[in-house]
Amino acid sequence: MDIRQLRTFRTVARLLNFNRAAEQLHYAQSSISAQIQSLEEELGVPLFDRLGRRVILTEAGMRLLDHAEKIVNLVDETLAEMSGSCQPQGSLTVRIPESFGVHRLPPVIRDFHSRFPNVQLNFMSCPQEGLAGGLRKGLTDLACQLTESIKAADLVVEALGCEHLVLVAGPDCPLALQSIVQTADLTGQTFLFSRVDCSYRRTFEKMLDQASVPHDHSLEFYSVEAMKRSVMAGVGLTILPEVAVAEDLAQKKLVALPWAEGQIEVAILMIRYQEKWLSPSSKPSWTSPES
């Protein structure tokens, strides 16, 4: 077993895709397969289950991933300390809400890439379920969420700014004609939620619960754009960051309801596992959207 094999295994385990791992590591796909096979033969256990074109980690693979993260991080830390003048390199896996990635992150990525061109950035969607576990296991280096707070003693949380949320409907929604919309008025409405932008969903659901407004028959989407277009078509209502719907509101494709609750703010939080070593490439501050 060598560090190259562990790096390859870690990349495949993170992506759960041999072809994408080969592209990221600049290896031939056959080389990736050979390294994993050699590792499995040396350890005497299968690390992945092959399900057609899909792969998933076995229980042994999950255990090895914990060890591989620690070993690779230690090697990277040693190399960084011994060659502090070198240009940062390596990879960062960052989980982000879709609306944050579309409307806030591009100028930050441009600045980061110009300063650290040898760092590979990998962005993933950010459902709240499994986020803390992914950070602890090293599957994710950093995460951003739009939420009120994160409570976990072993997670380091830094506030980057805030987002304003708006309750939106299609232009033909009868509620748009009211001078003010009470939360109780939302009874009987269909609510649309995003699986990739959902960390503030609980805030909204809590407000509905306090007003005894049922939301059991909501619809879930894996695309914010698909969800917005469904709202435009009159399927139901949704709540989204104002920045994600500003253009649609200006073009009157969506209507911001005059909700009695007023303007709702959620924090933009950057989260990492406190025991994870931060490489030089992950130490630069991410620009606040309000800066």
Token duo for residue 160: 């980057």
The predicted structure's pLDDT at residue 275: 66
| Tens-digit pLDDT profile for residues 38-77 | 999 999 999 999 887 788 999 999 889 888 888 887 787 7
Asked if the model's pLDDT at residue 211 lies above 60, the reply is: yes
Q: Cα 175 vs. chain centroid, distance in angstroms?
A: 32
pLDDT tens for each residue of 246-283: 999 999 999 999 999 887 888 888 888 876 655 554 54
Q: Decide: 194 and 218 in contact? Cβ < 8 Å.
A: no
pLDDT digits (tens, 9 = 90+) for 103-128: 888 998 998 888 888 788 888 876 66
Q: What percent of the chain has pLDDT over 70?
A: 88
In the chain, domain spans? 1-84, 164-264
The pair of three-digit structure tokens given for residue 53, joined into one six-digit string: 């074109």
pLDDT score of 291: 41
Give the per-residue pLDDT at 288: 43
Instruction: Answer yes or no: CATH 1.10.10.10 is held by domain 1-84.
Output: yes
What letter represents residue 153's amino acid?
A: A
* 171-175 LR contacts (CB < 8 Å, sep 24+): 171/232, 171/252, 171/253, 171/254, 171/255, 172/234, 173/234, 173/237, 173/255, 173/257, 175/237, 175/257
Tens digits of residue pLDDT in 18-49 = 988 888 888 888 889 999 999 999 999 999 99
- The pLDDT value given to residue 95: 87
Q: Of 211, 250, 257, 251, which Cα lies nearest the Cα of 236?
A: 257
What is the reported pLDDT for 253? 96
Q: Could you name the CATH architecture of 164-264?
A: 3-Layer(aba) Sandwich (3.40)
pTM exceeds 0.85, yes or no: no
The C-alpha atoms of residue 277 and residue 259 are separated, in whole angstroms, by 44
